[in-house]
Amino acid sequence: MKIASKSYSKKPDYSQLSQAELVSLLLQKDASLAQRDADIKQRDAYIERLEEIIRLQKVQRFAAKSEKQPFQITLFDEAELESAIDDLIDEIPEDSLSQELAQTKKTRQRQRGFSTSLNRIRREISLSDDDKAGATKTFFTKVKEELEFIPAQLNVIEIWQEKAVFESPTGEHVIAAKRPTHPLGKCIATTSLLAYIITSKYTDGLPLYRLDGMLARLGHEIGRNNMANWIIRLNDVFKPLINLMREQQNLGRYIQADETRIQVLKETGKTAQSDKWMWVTRGGPPDKPSVLFDYDPTRAGHVPTRLLEGFSGVLQVDGYSGYGKVCRELDITRIGCWDHARRKFVEAARGVTSQKGKSNKAKPSKADVGIGKIRKLYAIESKIEGLSESEKYTVRQELALPVLQDFKAWLETNHPKVPKDSLIFKAIQYTLNQWESLISYCDHGFVHISNALAENAIRPFAVGRRNWLFADSSSGANASATCYSLIETAKANGLEPSSYIHYLLDHIADADTLEKIEALLPWNMPKAS
């Protein structure tokens, strides 16, 4: 077998090159090395961005959902800030301040014992006759309170209608007792069962198939198709009430809005996998708050224009550009949400690898510093929660605006220093892009620093969505929007949702005038005696 001879690469001979040629060759090699270094640097930066995204996704999937960060206490002097707020509050006349703060303190007091609204049953443990023989007197003392649960049960209500027969020259004449009206007409479910189904699905997040199994264990299988059909039919029954709530909400001066995805399997012109949207608005006069859900297959700007028709106050939303159309067309004042800005800094902080120095203490990242500066704003809001509108405006002008000016200077300084496309870059850029709308809350004493109330209202929907996953049709999505609207509006007005839904179902079939429908609005409910 013939062995191939080894080939050796010949080194280039530079001895014959002139000085100019050598200089040119060196320059070419320097340029090649510089390009390679640049490529390596770009590659390392790209890898770092990917690692940052992977770390964030791992945290979002497996870690706790809390936005608390390890440096959130140490990044600013909270005691000094609270002292400044106290000094400013001291300048406010006490006759207008004490009542607000006293009411706030009262509502925050810890509840002890069981609620007074619960039914109480006295059970006596008595001595035997032999034990009491010869005693001068006996008495009872309460030694303990226990909470009892009475399991649900299904009953069959037999409706017997009395009829009277009258004799007349023309024959017999029959009069029947008036039957109570039912919101669905012919339906085997009582209003109490309908209220239980609605509350279980839209307050407790139970899918109908699971609810059907629970009812079957109680003695009768209803079928989830029947329950879904009842809910869809009730959408038309509740619609006049929802329309009144929408009109009342748009008469207010302040609305918070948000939107979230929903999967609807059967939607004309859309695939089952495409995104559809559930919109939520929270607002109305302070004594008549409402939370309204609305399903729409698109996220286009014409949707908020439709929902906010007639509104001319302050709209608080995130940075989604779709709200720009309605603000321009209806001359609405738009303000931003600091929760969304803060969340981007939290994501950036979670995507950063913790670096430890010689002291074995982690060094705060730029994202941590940004979170600390935002927390100053929230600390101010927490302190002035119980103040009046004018007092909140004064404190924000005196204390919040300087904090905001300092934060903007920090953002502008660090914006060119951080790598583009990094999470911290996106957080800083988002905040700067939204700056004018983000600081606008300081111009109004009646608004909040974020649209957290709208997000809190949409949270039960998000929880339910994880359980029932999708809606089969647009009719089901619209019915779900109506049920969520009634339940969340009831909660916003301090009503127990199941009791309110039951009351509606008992009375809405007889509400044949505008006055009767208005009487069913949550803020018009009769006070419990």
Q: What pLDDT digit, counting tens, does each position of 177-190 carry?
A: 988 899 998 899 99
Supply the pLDDT for residue 384.
86
Backbone angles phi, psi at 301, to 5 degrees: -65, -20
pLDDT at 422 over 60: yes
CA atoms within 13 A on the CB side of 431: 29
Supply the pLDDT for residue 354.
45
CA–CA distance, 317 with 339 (Å, rounded to integer): 10
The pLDDT tens digits of the residues spanning 76-124 come to 455 455 555 555 555 555 555 445 544 544 444 455 678 887 889 999 9
Give me the residue spans of the domains in the chain: 119-233+504-524
Supply the pLDDT for residue 58.
63
Supply the pLDDT for residue 3.
54
Backbone angles phi, psi at 256, to 5 degrees: -105, 140
Q: Which residues make beta-bridge pairs with 278?
A: 260, 295
Residue of 363, 416, 357, 367 whose CA lies nearest to 59: 367
pLDDT band at 238 (very low <50, low <70, confident <90, very high): very high
CA–CA distance, 199 with 196 (Å, rounded to integer): 5
Q: What's the Cα-to-Cα distance from 322 to each of 249, 319, 446, 448, rounded to whole Å?
A: 20, 9, 24, 21
Q: What is the mean pLDDT of the chain?
A: 82
The answer to whether the beta carbons of residues 500 and 520 sit under 8 Å apart is: no
Average of per-residue pLDDT across 385-414: 92
Supply the pLDDT for residue 421.
80
Supply the pLDDT for residue 56.
63
Say what angle helices 401-414 and 366-383 make with each other, to 10 degrees.
Answer: 170
Helix (H, G, I), strand (E, B) or coil at 419: coil
The pLDDT tens digits of the residues spanning 35-65 come to 887 777 777 666 666 666 676 666 656 555 5
Among 96-110, 200-214, 485-499, whose mean pLDDT is lowest?
A: 96-110
The pLDDT tens digits of the residues spanning 441-460 come to 999 999 999 888 888 887 77
pLDDT at 168 over 50: yes
Supply the pLDDT for residue 455.
81
Kindly report the pTM of this predicted structure. 0.75
Say what angle helices 474-492 and 224-250 make with each other, to 10 degrees.
Answer: 60
Average of per-residue pLDDT across 210-219: 90
Which helix (H) or strand (E) covers residue 308, if one does?
none
Query: Long-range contacts made by residues 404-413, C-beta under 8 angstroms, separation at least 24?
Result: 404/377, 404/439, 404/442, 406/373, 407/370, 407/373, 407/374, 408/432, 408/435, 410/369, 410/370, 410/373, 411/370
Supply the pLDDT for residue 485.
95
Q: In what order do the strands lie in the sheet with 314-316?
A: 290-296, 276-283, 254-262, 314-316, 333-335
Supply the pLDDT for residue 104.
46
DSSP string, 347-416: HHHHTSPP-B-TTS-BPPPHHHHHHHHHHHHHHHHHHTTTS-HHHHHHHIIIIIHHHHHHHHHHHHHHTT
The pLDDT tens digits of the residues spanning 307-364 come to 999 999 999 998 888 888 888 888 899 999 999 999 889 888 887 754 444 444 567 8
Environment class of 165 (CB within 10 Å of its CB; exposed 0-12, middle 13-18, buried 19+):
exposed
Supply the pLDDT for residue 348.
86
Q: What's the Cα-to-Cα distance from 349 to each of 241, 343, 360, rounded to whole Å?
A: 45, 10, 19
The pLDDT tens digits of the residues spanning 113-138 come to 788 878 899 999 999 988 888 888 89
